[in-house]
Amino acid sequence: MSAAAPSDSSGGSDGFVGFIDAGDDPGHVRVRRHGRVGRLTLDRPEAINALSLRMMVALDTVLRRWETDPQIDVVVLDGTGPRGFCAGGDIRVIYEDAQNRRGVSERLWRTEYLLDALIADYRKPVVTVLDGITMGGGIGIGCHIRHRIVTERSVLALPEVALGLAPDVGGLLLLARAPGRLGAHLALTAARMGGVDAVRAGFADAVVPSERLGQLVPLLQRMDPADAIATLAVAPSALGDGELEAHRSWIDMCYDADEVPAVVERLAAHPEPAARAAAEAITRMSPLALCVTWCGLGEAGKADALGPTLVQDLRVSYRFLDGPDLVEGIRAAVIDRSRSPVWSPERLSDVTPAMVERHFAPLGAADLDLSPVLGRRAGRP
């Protein structure tokens, strides 16, 4: 989209909304107005709409303006292309920055978490369409609101432990609130959820067949978001039973432990093949990231809102940037695709409490300040 695209004052269905300044450039974000509906479409399909810093700034800029725009009543956030809504953040940028420390990662994380908080506490209804792959940063912008749509193509995950990092973008709060011990299983194995499992785990609200998505915006132009979505939705069972529900018994039992090594022992000893497969999956992850994630889950479980978890996320992410596992994990998964990372420490038994605790220490003046974006709805009816 060109920064010179004209403002749409007529409310036409395909009109672009101009940016604040002529020099602003939304990058890979399409900005449109459909009557009373503002629509933001992640438009980087070659990267499954992975979020760049520029994209996040564009989203933040338009969302802040639309909050006070009397012609916008509801916002839709979706993605271009059939592969996915958003594959996460641009981890190649983090990989490069971790080696030269120019501060790009810190700016990216800080901007991302503030955007997550803005969307979560937005003054107007937001509808997210989590069609296809939705991971990492896609969870952050898409799953902390009330109107979250998945389809038969949806695949949701927080795969950070495989990259030498802990789940961030407030994902630990969602995981901590998942039924039983599902959140611990999803966090430690980086397991993927289909649409049905996403609804049952609390990451989504409604299942809408992908062939009906084209009707969403027209319905939102004349209906309340809840009613519009209900008109299009099908019962989750229409897509099957999901995979996680069938495994709840061993998941709840094996993950009900005090520490990660005990979880792995229980899984490995369980007669259910899926439990033993989960144990094998966990042993391939960064031992330090696993232990930090376990501790982070406990802390997120105490939170009554998103803010404290995002503050924790920035602290943890900063500390991983100083260690070797994040660079090694991205290298093995994305750069040379060897799939054979060498973690440090190599074993869970070598991770000490002090190694874990340092990730949660305050950053002082660098701590995340969410006051500009959280709590702004307190006075609204």
Is the link from the previous residue into 345 a cis peptide, with omega within 30 of 0?
yes
Q: Tell me if residue 89 is catalytic.
A: yes
Q: How far apart are CA 281 and CA 278, in angstroms?
A: 5
Q: Is 265 an active-site residue?
A: no
Comparing CA positions, the residue from 141, 130, 120, 123 lying closest to residue 216 is 130
168 is known as an active-site residue: yes
Look up residue 29 and give its two tokens. Answer: 């974000």
Catalytic residue among 89, 142, 195, 296: 89
Select which of 35, 84, 88, 137 is catalytic. 137
| C-alpha distances in Å from residue 302, one per residue of 160, 165, 200, 299, 308 | 22, 21, 21, 5, 9
Given the residues 97, 112, 168, 197, select the one marked as catalytic.
Answer: 168
Contact between 142 and 87 (Cβ < 8 Å):
no
- CB 157 within 8 Å of CB 281: no
The DSSP annotation for 336-363 comes to: S-------SS-SGGG--HHHHHGGGS--
Give whole-number Cα distances, 9 to 25, 40, 150, 197, in Å: 19, 17, 32, 41
Active-site annotation holder among 97, 160, 205, 325: 160
- Told to judge if 88 belongs to the known catalytic residues of this protein, a careful annotator would answer no
Question: What is residue 231's DSSP assignment?
Answer: H
Catalogue the active-site residues.
89, 137, 160, 168
